[in-house]
Structure 1
Amino acid sequence: MQSLIPKSFQQPSHKKKNQNTPNSNNPYYLYVVTIIAAATILFLFYSRQIDPKGLCSTAGSLTPAQTIIVEEFESSAIPLVTIFHYATARDVPQQSKGEIRRPFDVLQSLAPCNFLVFGIGHDSLMWDSFNPLGVTLFLEEDPKWAISSLKRFPILRAHTVYYNTRLNEAKTLLSSYKKNCGAVSTGDHPLKDDRRCRLALGKLPEEVYDRDWDVIMIDAPRGYFPSAPGRMAVIYSAAVMARGRKKAGVTHVFLHDVDREVERLYAKEFLCMKYRVGGIRKLWHFVIPPAANVTDTANGFC
């Protein structure tokens, strides 16, 4: 596991969406524990290698409860540690029961698979446990939050990502992308090193480009104030990844917070409503097949 934390990348810390509320008051707590307990029966004797890379020495101190969780990663099966964490933590997953269940069912049908998650939250350990023996990678915009999360959950694989877009540019970027995006890439991936298209995430860690991702969860970066990065580039890049898939099969893309205008506009433009197979509350589910020519966007994506 490696963490890419550029020293020169400074962004203000921010509070994650979910509030700290006792488990006894959260209706989804028992649901999460029940699902993970079921996973434990299947994967009790499996555990992945842990390589904290000194993260615990680079961040602030842990609470006694968090220290216990970190130590448990060294000796206990991952599903058991996950149950232990959610049974004792005040921070719980931010999505609803239905929103959790749909990706869970897909992951169970595909696992072990390649699962790419944009954003680290209080639900990250849960998502990781849903893909035992697979590759689950988290991409986070805030370096401080990434370090803090990896310190508490050293099993997670994560990198920080810089976004050069702002939410107040969303409509301009949407109306002009055909002029600047879709050119043939000079690299071995349609996104890699693309400096012309601002919606293309061309400077991601190599392991993002090295894999076909079976499931992509878009729940970041922030997109609720004008100067926030917004999710425009993530939605565009996820669509390009899905279209450029090399191995057999399709790509499942889950987009959260579709109650917001930008998420809906960009989903309709790049993820395509004809590929939407369902959704619940603020979550849409798309199943996207590979395209014959991933760089041909003259007529749009849909």
Structure 2
Amino acid sequence: MIKAGRHVIVEKPWFLGLLLAGLIGGVLALSLFLHIADNPVSCSFTGLGFRPQSKLQPSPIQLKALLHYATSPVVPQQSYAEISISLAILQRRSPCNFLVFGLGHDSLMWAAFNAAGTTLFLEEDPKWFHTVLQRAPDLRAHTVRYRTKMSEADELFSWYRSEPDCSTSKSQLRGNDKCKLALTGLPDEFYNTEWDLIMIDAPRGYFAEAPGRMGAIYSAAVMARNRKGLGATHVFLHDVDRKVEKMYAQEFLCMKYLVNGTGRLWHFQIPPASNATSSGTFC
């Protein structure tokens, strides 16, 4: 394991890189098969032969992901089993709106899995943001400024109950300056989009001055509850072996909505508040 700045780089055995590249290749093959099944006549006649329609071709981001994971000395932070849980939902819902907290070694993979949809990354560290975007400029990403610190996690957990603007009846994110757990100051795209899937694998939460994931977890719960479209919101939370992630997940994402999990990943399926039993609390 090699430490590069604040990020841990995991040196991979040769077969793991091939496994990840194969996983992405398998997704491409499945997408092609499903397209052909839905459109039996998928070739156009040109001259003396047939030419596949251009929409059957892999997207540039998918090709970049294949090349990256086949040749890169680093791998995503999540395990194959953890990634597979999210991939199963993406295969059912893509193209969809996919929000990912954090930029990292797995960003190209997530974007490739949802190539025909919208995948947006939120990153706290401006330097790391520019480093990743220099390597993968096609990624859609914004920087985010959190108003919380890990050292405040316990205090915020008790305080939010007495702050009316954090309550379920008034919960909103845009311009909600009174609730420190609400993410504010982001581009309109963040607030105007109904996110079908939300992956929380950032921000940092392993030292006192780090932002922690309190705001990301709370904001994901608010967006899921405020959903107007059909279906539930799928929220994936990583590092649930840590106290703060587990405590805030139980409070805001709700164990009754936990539908799957493996390793350090939990998968919640959260219905809109209009479809949930009203109790005055998130859970």
TM range (shorter): 0.7 to 0.9
- Return the offset for 1:176: 1.3
Cα deviation 1:223-260 (Å, max 9, x = unaligned): 00111110000000000000000111100000000000
Bigger share in helix: 2
User: In structure 2, what is the Cα distance between the partners aligned to 1:202 and 1:22?
Assistant: 38
1:275–1:286 CA contact under 8 A, matched in 2: yes
Distance 2:177 2:256 in 1: 30
Aligned pair 1:40/2:28, yes or no? Answer: yes
1:88 to 68, 71, 81: 71
Q: How does 1:1-302 map to 2 (within 5 A)?
A: 14-17=5-8, 19-24=9-14, 28-41=16-29, 42=31, 45-47=57-59, 77-180=60-163, 181-182=166-167, 190-292=172-274, 299-302=280-283
- Relative distance call for 1:245 and 1:91 in structure 2 (3 A) is same
Q: Which amino acid aligns with 1:132?
A: A
Counterpart Cα distance in 2 of 1:237 and 1:263: 13
Deviation at 1:153, TM superposition (A): 0.5
Q: Using the alignment, how far apart are the partners of 1:151 and 1:91 within structure 2?
A: 17
**Structure 2: which 5+ runs fail to align?**
33-55
**What is the one-letter code of the residue matched to 2:149?**
R
> 1:36 is paired with a residue of what secondary structure?
helix
Q: Structure 2: how far apart are the matches of 1:110 and 1:129?
A: 14
Name the counterpart of 1:3. Answer: none
Conserved 8 A contact 1:195-1:202: yes
AA aligned opposite 2:93: L
Cα distance in 1 for partners of 2:116, 2:142 equals 20
Indicate the structure whose relative CO is greater, using CA pairs within 8 Å and at least 6 residues apart.
1
Q: How many Å apart are 1:30 and its aligned residue?
A: 2.7
Q: What residue in structure 2 maps to residue 4 of structure 1?
A: none
State the distance in 2 between where 1:248 and 1:200 align: 24
The CA distance in 1 between the partners of 2:226 and 2:16, in whole Å, is: 36
| In structure 1, C-alpha distance between the alignment counterparts of 2:275 and 2:178, rounded to whole Å | 19
Measure the CA separation in 1 of the matches of 2:161 and 2:22: 46
TM-score (normalizing by structure 1) = 0.79
Instruction: Count residues with an aligned counterpart.
Output: 254
Which sections of structure 1, spanning at least 5 residues, go unmatched?
A: 1-12, 48-76
Secondary structure of the residue that 2:227 maps to in structure 1?
A: coil
Identity of aligned residues (%): 54
Work out the CA distance in 1 between the residues paired with 2:168 and 2:88: 36
Cα distance change on mapping 1:82 and 1:246 into 2, 3 Å: same
SS of the aligned residue for 1:203 comes to coil
The answer to whether the 8 A contact 1:117-1:139 is kept is yes
What is the identity, as a one-letter code, of the residue corresponding to 1:182? S
Is the 2:121–2:141 contact (alpha carbons within 8 Å) kept by the matching residues of 1? yes
**Larger of the two Rg values belongs to structure:** 2
Mapped to 1, the partners of 2:85 and 2:19 lie a distance apart of 13
Contact 2:99 2:195 in 1 (8 A): yes
Give the letter aligned to residue 232 of structure 2: V
Question: Which structure is higher in strand share?
Answer: 2
- 103-112 or 196-205, larger mean C-alpha shift: 196-205
- Residues 39 and 79, structure 1, Cα contact 8 Å, conserved in 2: no
SS for the counterpart of 2:86 is helix
CA contact under 8 A between 1:242 and 1:289: conserved in structure 2? Answer: yes
Cα RMSD over matched residues? 2.1
